[in-house]
Structure 1
Amino acid sequence: MAGLVIGGWFASIFFARLADQVGSYIGKQLKYQKGAKNKLNKLEVNLRKIHAVIHATDLGRHQKEHLEAWLCELKDAAFEAEDVLDGFEYQILRDTVKGKDKVHTNFSSASASFAQSTSVFFKRLFFRDEDLNELDEVIERFDKIVATIGNFLLPSDLGAQNQKHGVLCADAQSDVPEWRETTSIMNESEVLGREHEINSLVRLVEDDESEEIPDRVRHVYLSSSNLAKLYETAPKLKNLRSLVVNGSLLDTVAKSKLMDFIEVTLKRLKRLRVIVFDGLALDVLPESIGHMRHLRYLEVPGGQFIDLPKWICRLYQLQGLSLQFRSPLHLGRPLPRGMHRLVNMRYLNINPEKVSTIVEIGKLRSLQELREFHVRKKNGYELGQLRDMRQLRGQLSIMNLDMAGSASDCRAAELDNKEHLSALHLYWGQLGRKDNDKHEEVLEALRPHRNLTELRIIGYMGTESPSWLETSWLSNLEHIELEDCQGWEVLPPLGQLPFLKILHLKSLKLVKHICSGFYGGHSIAFPLLEELLFSDMGEWRQWSGVKASSQLFPRLRRLQIDRCHKLRGSLVLPTVLERLHVVLSDDVTWESYKKPHVVLSDDVIWESSETNDISAILKLSIDNISLLTDCLPAECLASLQRLDVVYCSSLESFTDEQEKWLQRLSSLEELRFSDCDNLTRLPTDLNSLVLLKTLHIEGCPKIDSRPEKGI
């Protein structure tokens, strides 16, 4: 009966897993001390017998009062066996990591995936006497359980169903079925052996004065003030797997006493898999944690740590570690040197600068998140450390690429096999900024996987783009930022990227022209681009190259151009306009409008009507009149009704060209000048603005006269 549930867990699957694990130890080329292998053989026999019986018999039809005690004993024995095997797993990991026998292994923890094949080769594997004694106890316990199986079997149990499934309970080599039934519906009548646990938990919840925690409980959450209950019950809690202590109610226990209490309590709970101290501002970790061979996850979200103890490096089965450190002053202090021994680590939530100090971090092959990798000219910090970290996902920032070795050293990182990475940030420092060729070789060698959706390149001094940006290799990119790349002269054809939504170009000092190559060779350039930023491009003079037959920026919503003082000529604006926010300024905050709008200037906002024509702009706010008049003909503003000139400190007076530009704003009804500190006189002739109704002047202290030709 594959679906039988005992006390909340699927018995058949659980026993099959345990038996497979024992079999994996026996089947490998392991040399044990005398008697160890025979004991493992005997344990496997018992596990497979129980697994076969659960498959073959309808235990659920027996009266629960006769079955419950047996099932509880079975469940406890199963958990105890799991702990013993987990202890063996720890021994194997320990010897593998330490390399006592120069072991080469491609071993994956059976506790992480029992279905995954493993290959471990040892000259000799020694288990502690304590482990072997526990194994003896488990075997003896299962012997008793197996001896009582007959009390729950009828002849029919081993008849037709055995023939159906091919089960022979008497032989260790039983042909146990490998198929498993799955269902999304659990029949409550098949959940057995749990009534006692449920009743105990109900009493615990209802009676806050209860002094005991149920013996068979596996997960406990309690306040620090209730640790006494846990301490007293701890010796009986052999099945406890998770402990969460909340310190928010820390009003009756002094911190020093609390630490002592936690220490002695944890010494009694050596089989824990998960420990969370929520809200406890611990500055040191309890030393007893260092002896928890089964621990998988440790979290102290409110910690005040300065350093981590060295013993953290011997928690070889640890898969998750989440800690906080006291202050930024301590972030530069390295983590213990042996952190690379935590080979099962998947989740490491520690300040990225701290994580970057781990030497030989490449040995953490299961790590799924590495926010920063700092290249150093030291062994154990080279880019090749990233080679086998194929499980990395999310964002990866590679710092100090100016310290990278040769192109072959960079290719050793094998970034193109990191299929789960979504964002890659590449940073060059100040060293070797004049070695353009070296920068180009490094960037070319760091080709990402084509699944990448975000790319940032900062401090690159090469003059040319890498080949993988010139082609459609990264066709899934949605976000690109190129910043402080002061040698880059010709931008790559980013317009061909079909999913690109955000493009930021900052401090590209040598870019003078943006022309047709930027848009790519497709009829629609930047088909999904929504946000485009040009910033601090001091040599940029011209934006051109658009073919009449091309469709450009069909979905652009925000265009920002700031500190591009040499830019002249018409702006390249979308061929179809629904809503656009354009900014030509040094101080910008994005604003939201219900109506379509455009912002243009060193702080410009255009608000348009419901049409898609840019000439329908109704409102415009600017802080650089020169940029506006140079980049946008007045004819494009035929419907403009309000013009605000604000914070335009460079404006002293209007040139003849600017006067003529203003006079062509035939629909203008409202003109405002605000906080223009150096403006000395208004436009000479406002009479041509026949619809002008309002002239507003505020914060312009140097204006001392009206327009020469009146209003």
Structure 2
Amino acid sequence: MAEGFLQPDSQNERMEKRGYKYLKTLLQTSLLEEVKKEWKTSYKMHDLVHDFAKSILNRNSSNGDRYLAVETINEKKSESLRTLFLEGGIADDMLSKFKYLHVLKLFGADAKKLPNSIGKLIHLHLLDISGSRITTVPKSLCKLYSLQTLRINMLEEGLPKKMSNLISLRHLHYYDHAGRKIQMPSRIGRLTCLQTLEFFNIGHQEEGRGIQELGTLQDLKGTLEIRNLELVNGKDDAELANLSKKPNMYRLVFEWGNRDRKSDKCDEDVLEGLQPHPNLKELQILKFMGDQFPQWFMNLTLTSLVELRVEDCTRCRKLPALGQLPFLKCLYLTRLDNTTSIGLSFYSASAEEDGGSGGSDTISRQTFFPSLKILSLESMKILEEWKDAPEMMSNAGEVRVMDVFPVLEKLYISDCPKLTTIPTPSRFPSLDVLEIKWNCHVLVAEKVLSNITTLSSLYLRGGLQSIESLELVKRPESSLRIEGCDSLPTDMLERLCLFPILQDVRLFRCPNIITLRGMSCAACLESLAVHYCENLRELPDDLYQFQALRCLTVGDCPRINSFGYPNHNTGQKSLLKSLEMLLTYGCHELTTLPVEMFESCTSLRELNLYNWHSLVSFPLDLRRTPSLASFKLFDCPNLIAEMPSGFGYLTSLREVQIGPFTDDSVIKFDWAGLASSSTLRCVSLCGMPDMKSLPHQLQCLTTITSLSLGDFGAIEALPEWLGNFASLEDLILSGCPKLEYLPSMAAMERLKLRRLEIWFCPLLNRRCTPQSGSEWPKISDIPERKIDFRYF
């Protein structure tokens, strides 16, 4: 579907959305837990919830209530209660009565304090206060020796000092966007049953918050972020974390704090000591200030690694040898400020030593980056070259033929202004998506694109240097996006768009583009969007022959003076039979939109024209567009000549937005046709400054659900017949300076409004004040009211 186009959800889509809503609810209430394994996410029921559900099924009615989800507590509830979900606060003495609780969840804005009596719930296995506003917890929390799962928000004073007493704790979930400031509980290493610890902020060793606390947590699994690594003294201390002996960790994040770039903090030794288990799937290294990466990168320790992200490593000169990692699929390199070259060692530690080709009787084939599908280079400010691996290497009487990036699908290069040398295009046989943006040299695009024929998406954005020299071959892109490239030559589109199956073209802020006449992609183009091209004058000369075009957007192109005309002298007619959405705005030299282009638009569902100050005529017969569901024609103040007609023939029309009107256009508008629409649900009228009443034909629109009236300068009271709009749910009034009265109380009571908005209607605003407004009784029962009382 085209962007912005609305279509009723299919039954499957509705069921999918409903299922996702239920799943989200189950996660929020801790009835399900998210489990990430490799590249799959699954959901499981917590053991406690399972046991509880089983007991519910097996119990008889005489056992009393064991589960309760309420907004307020009833003191008479049974002491046998095992599970309590409570929205709101609870008194200290009341909580102590539920002494056999196994599961307690407090949530909602009114839940602000955890009672001290929490320590008496000695059978509690799961405590969840993550959805509350509780910011401090009592010391008695540390007496919950049976507690297995704790879900908690950021606390003002941190967790209690004796958290290490919770010897049964298995899962600690700490929800906080500013988690880097949290001080970890002292002696957390004593919690030897702990399986879930989403992050660990290193503190001072003498306070029991050093990295060695992780060493005894042998059962940790899933994901762990280790922060403040600048506080670790060296390799020996880092090894105390015993990460290499934690086989169930699938994701690790190593993060150092912000420091002076000149500081010497033995980061290389620390990272060497953090060697993970070979089962690791994802690794992030952030703000590492070593010159090079550790040996365990080089010796194929990370044999299971699938994703690697290296970011803000400002001293790094040499990238690790990653080319032989068998399962690496995603590699992100960002802000490596000291890296000038991606050398041969990037492919293999032995690549530079092996040298070039030579004679040999033995030939073998070696593949580098055999599984890599996504590669991103971002903000590599001084990166100048990305060396290619040699076609072949010889060593010890053996010649090895090199294959590089055999399955790479997506390549992103951003803000690498000095990079001009990259591998030959033949190294990317599977490349599908290419993005080059933000201050990159055009040679990068030129070299990557010179022989690649596999692209389905090309995105060029922002300040490509010397783009006039770009030479491209024909290729079957399905998506072309160019944004903010102010040095594009005038014939760039002719060179870029001669592709056999181009489907999507988007141009943003390209002031050098003057014409699109060179585009010859009528056969397959489905979407054409042109925004803010201030010097564009001409659309494609064969636009009317674009048989596959579904979405056409032309906006803020003030010099376009024509959408062209079908050439009737040659028998050429409009073939825009697939067009579903037309959006145009800000084309201030156009005085009319040719109705000939709509001759075959039987699929058009959305027609949107706005901010056309020069448009004076649009005599469209809507019978040519029988599928139209949304019609918007607004902010075209000079449209006083012929206007669209035939609304009564539209059997799918659901939304209309019209205005402003002049006296002539009010008279000429097809009000009768509009009023006869039985499918219309949303009507917005604006800009009738001299009208003292609403057009009387509108009283037939009794099935609409939303009505918006704006800039009616002379109207003083809404008509009584408005009360007949039994389906009306939303009423929006704005910019009506003389409006004082709503319909009568009886009429307003017949309306079942869900929402009322009143803006910039000073007289009516005054009458709608709760204290003494005469109109207030008419609206006091409306659930949603937005009334701006500033403008009396």
Report TM bin, short chain: 0.5 to 0.7
Alignment partner for residue 539 of structure 1, among 382, 397, 401?
Answer: 382
Q: Structure 1 residues 545, 602: closer, same or farther in 2, change over 3 A?
A: closer
2:474 aligned with 1:638: yes
- Of 572-581 and 464-473, more deviation after overlay is shown by 572-581
Match of 1:314 in 2: 143
Match of 1:245 in 2: 85
**Aligned amino acid, residue 495 of structure 1:** G
Cα distance in 2 for residues equivalent to 1:361 and 1:397: 15
Is contact 2:380-2:416 (8 Å) kept? yes
Q: Structure 1 residues 602, 378: closer, same or farther in 2, change over 3 A?
A: farther
2:483 aligned with 1:647: yes
The one of the two structures with greater contact order (alpha-carbon pairs below 8 A, sep at least 6) is 1
Residue 370 of structure 1, CA deviation: 1.6
Cα distance in 1 for residues equivalent to 2:126 and 2:407: 46
Match of 1:551 in 2: 403
Is contact 1:673-1:700 (8 Å) kept? no
Is contact 2:497-2:521 (8 Å) kept? no
Work out which of the two has the higher radius of gyration on C-alpha atoms and give 1 or 2: 1
Cα distance in 2 for residues equivalent to 1:402 and 1:454: 22
Residue 407 of structure 1, CA deviation: 2.4
Residue 267 of structure 1, CA deviation: 3.1
Match of 1:417 in 2: 245
**SS of aligned partner of 1:469:** helix
**SS of aligned partner of 1:622:** strand
Match of 2:210 in 1: 382
Q: Structure 1 residues 469, 229: closer, same or farther in 2, change over 3 A?
A: same
Alignment partner for residue 495 of structure 1, among 318, 323, 327?
Answer: 323
**Aligned amino acid, residue 336 of structure 1:** P
Match of 1:459 in 2: 287
Q: Looking at secondary structure, tell me which structure has more strand per residue.
A: 2
2:198 aligned with 1:371: yes
Match of 1:357 in 2: 184
Residue 623 of structure 1, CA deviation: 3.1
Match of 2:369 in 1: 526
TM-score using structure 2 length: 0.50
Is contact 2:468-2:487 (8 Å) kept? no
Is contact 2:439-2:465 (8 Å) kept? no
Cα distance in 2 for residues equivalent to 1:246 and 1:602: 59
Residue 553 of structure 1, CA deviation: 2.0
Is contact 2:415-2:437 (8 Å) kept? yes
Match of 2:607 in 1: none
Cα distance in 2 for residues equivalent to 1:540 and 1:646: 24
1:422-461 pair list within 5 angstroms: 422-431=250-259, 433-436=261-264, 438-461=266-289
Match of 1:479 in 2: 307
Match of 2:223 in 1: 395
- Of 541-550 and 385-394, more deviation after overlay is shown by 541-550
Is contact 1:399-1:429 (8 Å) kept? yes
Is contact 2:187-2:209 (8 Å) kept? yes
- Of 290-299 and 272-281, more deviation after overlay is shown by 272-281
**SS of aligned partner of 1:497:** coil
1:74-223 pair list within 5 angstroms: 200-201=60-61, 214=62, 216=63, 219-223=66-70
Residue 505 of structure 1, CA deviation: 0.3
2:461 aligned with 1:623: yes
Name the count of aligned residue pairs. 454
**SS of aligned partner of 1:550:** strand
**SS of aligned partner of 2:113:** coil
Cα distance in 2 for residues equivalent to 1:551 and 1:195: 61
Instruction: Please provide the CA RMSD for this pair.
Output: 4.7
Q: Structure 1 residues 573, 219: closer, same or farther in 2, change over 3 A?
A: farther
Cα distance in 2 for residues equivalent to 1:554 and 1:628: 30
Cα distance in 2 for residues equivalent to 1:411 and 1:524: 33
- Of 408-417 and 433-442, more deviation after overlay is shown by 433-442
Cα distance in 2 for residues equivalent to 1:196 and 1:677: 66
Cα distance in 2 for residues equivalent to 1:696 and 1:420: 48
Residue 530 of structure 1, CA deviation: 1.5
**SS of aligned partner of 2:146:** coil
**Structure 2: which 5+ residue stretches go unaligned?**
1-46, 48-53, 352-364, 392-400, 540-792
Is contact 1:600-1:621 (8 Å) kept? no
Residue 433 of structure 1, CA deviation: 3.5
Residue 650 of structure 1, CA deviation: 4.2
Is contact 2:336-2:379 (8 Å) kept? yes
Is contact 2:480-2:505 (8 Å) kept? yes
Is contact 2:285-2:311 (8 Å) kept? yes
**Aligned amino acid, residue 146 of structure 2:** Q
Alignment partner for residue 514 of structure 1, among 330, 335, 342?
Answer: 342
Cα distance in 1 for residues equivalent to 2:458 and 2:466: 10
Deviations 1:223-249 (A, max 9, x none): 34573441xx43xx4xx5x222343xx
**SS of aligned partner of 1:504:** strand
Q: Structure 1 residues 633, 663: closer, same or farther in 2, change over 3 A?
A: closer
Is contact 1:525-1:550 (8 Å) kept? yes
Is contact 2:84-2:101 (8 Å) kept? no
Is contact 2:480-2:506 (8 Å) kept? yes
Match of 1:335 in 2: 159
Match of 1:206 in 2: none
Cα distance in 2 for residues equivalent to 1:449 and 1:286: 42
Deviations 1:479-504 (A, max 9, x none): 10000111111111111111111110
**SS of aligned partner of 2:323:** helix
**Aligned amino acid, residue 365 of structure 1:** T
Match of 1:583 in 2: 435
Deviations 1:247-292 (A, max 9, x none): 3xxxxxxx67xx34xx445434433333334658421123332122
Q: Structure 1 residues 569, 322: closer, same or farther in 2, change over 3 A?
A: closer
Residue 441 of structure 1, CA deviation: 1.2
Is contact 2:307-2:329 (8 Å) kept? yes
Percent identity of paired positions between Structure 1 and Structure 2: 25
Cα distance in 2 for residues equivalent to 1:272 and 1:360: 28
Q: Structure 1 residues 552, 296: closer, same or farther in 2, change over 3 A?
A: same
**SS of aligned partner of 1:384:** helix
Cα distance in 1 for residues equivalent to 2:333 and 2:402: 22
Is contact 1:643-1:672 (8 Å) kept? yes
Cα distance in 2 for residues equivalent to 1:408 and 1:272: 45
**Structure 1: which 5+ residue stretches go unaligned?**
1-111, 113-190, 202-213, 248-254, 326-330, 589-598, 707-711
Is contact 1:605-1:622 (8 Å) kept? no
Residue 453 of structure 1, CA deviation: 0.8
Is contact 1:583-1:601 (8 Å) kept? no
Is contact 1:652-1:681 (8 Å) kept? no
Cα distance in 2 for residues equivalent to 1:569 and 1:195: 68
**Aligned amino acid, residue 223 of structure 1:** V
Cα distance in 1 for residues equivalent to 2:340 and 2:494: 29
Match of 2:296 in 1: 468
**Aligned amino acid, residue 296 of structure 2:** W
Q: Structure 1 residues 340, 308: closer, same or farther in 2, change over 3 A?
A: same
TM-score using structure 1 length: 0.55
Q: Looking at secondary structure, tell me which structure has more helix per residue.
A: 1
**Aligned amino acid, residue 300 of structure 2:** S
Residue 426 of structure 1, CA deviation: 0.8
Cα distance in 1 for residues equivalent to 2:338 and 2:56: 76
Is contact 1:313-1:338 (8 Å) kept? yes
Q: Structure 1 residues 371, 669: closer, same or farther in 2, change over 3 A?
A: closer
Cα distance in 1 for residues equivalent to 2:171 and 2:64: 26
**SS of aligned partner of 1:385:** helix
Residue 468 of structure 1, CA deviation: 0.6
Residue 532 of structure 1, CA deviation: 0.8
Is contact 1:570-1:632 (8 Å) kept? no
